[in-house]
A = this chain, B = another copy of it.
Amino acid sequence: MEPRRIEEACIKCKDRCCARCFDDGEENIFSSLTTDELEMLVKEKRHVVFNAGETILKQNTSASHVVCIKRGLAKIIAEGEGDRKLILRLVANHAILTGGGIFIDEIRHFTVQAVTQVECCFIDSEKIYELVSNNSRFAFELLKLNNQQNVQMLNNLVGITQKYMPGRVSDLLLYLKNDIFLCNPFDTRLSRQELADMTGMTMESFIRILKEFKSSGIIAVDGPTIHVLDEDALHLISRKG
């Protein structure tokens, strides 16, 4: 396999180098690219900054780009009929927003919105197709990524379908702590409504469950900051339903 450190290829942005974004120790699907391929991506991509609240990708628009999150937090929203919405998951550093129609109908099937300021790169889908054609390792990585999302969504589906509200809130808290923020008192930066939208319940119901957890000593809450005090209890509640 070819070497793939390409600091020198980075012409567009000096400080926060794209090559480093694609290649900063974190394993991601771009690890499978050759120097030339990475260079091609770096040259072609567009680097964009979104402020909190801005829409990065909009459901039902045409999906001509793959977006790579470099810094910040964003939420993936499935918009339903009326103003109903479901937040599917959060994405942070190094997330790659593919899936959702890229390879089939070229239509976005979800909206992506910045929670904090988000720095990201837009890559033309054509480039991705090209890489899939030329680099089987990349294709493999992409398949892996797709599969992961698939499995996550499946678990989500099962959870939301089969669990009562306390179980769903437990799952959400565990997800936030262990998959997204990776630290214990964590600042969600999300409103109660948004948190509720991740569990498929109303804000009021969500708040009530949170209150119960609080008075049971399972968590401590201070505004958008949540401190998990008894993770085992959450696991237990998650399992029970």
Interface residues of A (CB under 8 A from B): 78, 80-82, 84, 86, 88, 99-105, 109-110, 129, 132-134, 136, 139-140, 142-144, 146-151, 153-158, 160-163, 200, 239-241
Contact = CB atoms under 8 A, between A and B. Distances in A.
B140 A129 contact: yes
A86 B162 CA distance: 8
A160 B157 contact: yes
Given A99-B150, A132-B136, 8 more contacts: A86-B158, A88-B154, A100-B154, A149-B150, A153-B157, A156-B157, A161-B200, A162-B200
A78 B160 CA distance: 13
By secondary structure, the A interface counts as helix
Contacts of A146: 103, 143, 146-147, 150
A208 to B, nearest CB: 19
Contacts of A160: 157, 160-161
A144 B100 contact: no
A90 to B, nearest CB: 16
Complex A-B, nearest 5 residue pairs according to Cβ-Cβ distance, in ascending order: A139-B139, A161-B200, A133-B136, A146-B146, A80-B162
Contacts of A161: 80, 86, 160, 200
Nearest to A134: B136
A105 to B, nearest CB: 8
